[in-house]
Structure 1
Amino acid sequence: MSGDNLRRVTTGKTMGDRADERLTPLVGSTDPTAHGSASRDAIPESLLASVIDDIADGDVAVDDGLVTQSLDEILLAMIALSDDETHGTGLMEALSRQFDAQLSPGTVYPRLHDLEADDTLTVHELVQTKQYSIDDAETAASQIEEAAYRHFVIGMFLHASLDAV
């Protein structure tokens, strides 16, 4: 893989318009139709089914450091998906339920305050708590999409490497 291809992947630029074209630098082939007998499916149905079931059941234990690396985007997604419980304590409980992540208030609240300072979140002052809501949906969606793409690229690279192990 050339350095140019690496830069394209890490900056979010794509090789093509279709997902299989964008992922080709990760699996080494420039021809998305060429598959060797030992190559893996792009995303096997069994892998997808397992991940989807685990997410739905809340059975995903993720290293706290990995959650922290994408905490802004995870918080934005949780706030966007939630009808209530968008206060700091509720969000920390949701992180625990969803990812088995035990993050401290000293980790979560500064991120919420930064997202508020960036005008991505709005804070609604209630009697004894603050509720957060998305203020800039376009920025929030862009941040979430970029994080999802980065994690997907890493996941696809790791999955493609399984044949070599």
Structure 2
Amino acid sequence: MSGDNLRRVTTGKMQGKTADERVTNLGGTERPESHDPPSRDAITESLLEPVIDDVVNGEMAVDDGLVTQSLEEILLAMIAVADGGTHGTGLMEALEEQFGAELSPGTVYPRLHDLEADGTLQMHELVQTKQYGIADSAAAKEQIAESASQHLALGLFLQASLDAL
């Protein structure tokens, strides 16, 4: 995904002509023109370095409220990568394993039903459970991409603010 597709949160004058140069300096001083902007790889690496091992190992506890705010997109992503679909209980276990989020069935199942009602998910009733799969890949991708862009923009803003502290 190119940086031009990301929504940018600005707190002042936007600098630069390319997406990588459009960084708002939170410290109040502009970067000298003689410095090259950091590469996307360097930005990505600097954002991921403090947390990558915990994320990969499923040891990154995320506030349940943050997980709930993006629950539909997280469920879509989990279902998309699951082999042959999955069921609600398995998804709740995966949420706890991956993010440390302990969400109730009253939180998870209504979201699954909403995604099924809007045609993004398909549900197959088995003998004692319901199994979910992606019904509309394009809609699921669009919803996940939009959420990822918003979270990335917010993360970049918060990361940049650390330099000002």
Q: CA RMSD in A?
A: 3.1
Per-residue deviation, residues 73-104 of structure 1 (Å, max 9, x unmatched): 00000000111561000000000000000000
Structure 2 distance, partners of 1:17, 1:131, is 48
Structure 1 distance, partners of 2:44, 2:30, is 20
Structure 2 distance, partners of 1:70, 1:83, is 22
Q: Which runs of 5+ in 1 are unaligned?
A: 1-7, 11-15
Q: Which runs of 5+ in 2 are unaligned?
A: 1-6, 10-15
In the other structure, the counterpart of 1:155 is 155
Structure 2 distance, partners of 1:24, 1:106, is 41
Shift of 1:48: 1.9
In the other structure, the counterpart of 1:135 is 135
Q: Which runs of 4+ in 1 moved over 3 A?
A: 16-19, 25-31, 33-36
Q: Is the 1:26–1:157 Cα contact (8 Å) retained in structure 2?
A: no
Which structure has greater helix proportion?
1
Matching residue's letter, 1:93: E
Structure 2 distance, partners of 1:24, 1:98, is 31
Structure 2 distance, partners of 1:82, 1:109, is 17
Per-residue deviation, residues 82-134 of structure 1 (Å, max 9, x unmatched): 11561000000000000000000000000000000000000011010000000
Percentage of matched positions with identical amino acids: 65
2:23 maps to 1:24: yes
2:100 maps to 1:88: no
Q: Is the 1:24–1:30 Cα contact (8 Å) retained in structure 2?
A: no
Shift of 1:52: 2.6
Matching residue's letter, 2:81: L
